[in-house]
Amino acid sequence: MKKQVLMKKEVPHDKYFLRSLHQEIDLYDRKIAYLEKYAQFDSIADREGAESKLISKRASLAETARQLVADGVEFSPADLPRSFRASPALGAEG
């Protein structure tokens, strides 16, 4: 029986990766908006816990996206998440 060592492939940090990051950030923005408007929880603590999980995940994605833009990865302004389009910090860089 042969033993194979599976190595994790390095994900290229190119414009396509950045586009998918922007799409995922937009998804988290929509999840947060849904949570604030429509989701029902048993307690306020449950709501705050769910919201903080979503916000922390979105923040890490946004940090990665901003770092890629700072590193010079090209992107289309049309691919930006809606929350980034309102932000002057990224709008001026694109």
Give the pLDDT of residue 13: 81
CA distances, 69 to each of 12, 17, 32, 74 (Å):
14, 11, 24, 7
- With a CB cutoff of 8 Å and minimum separation 6, the contacts of 89 are 66
> Dihedrals φ, ψ of 33, to 5°?
-65, -40
Q: What is the pTM of this model?
A: 0.77
Question: Shortest CA distance to 58 belongs to which of 28, 16, 78?
Answer: 28
Q: In tens digits, what is the pLDDT along the chain, a chain of 94 residues?
A: 556 666 677 767 889 999 999 999 999 999 999 999 999 999 999 999 999 999 999 999 999 999 999 999 999 999 999 888 875 554 444 4
Give the pLDDT of residue 5: 64
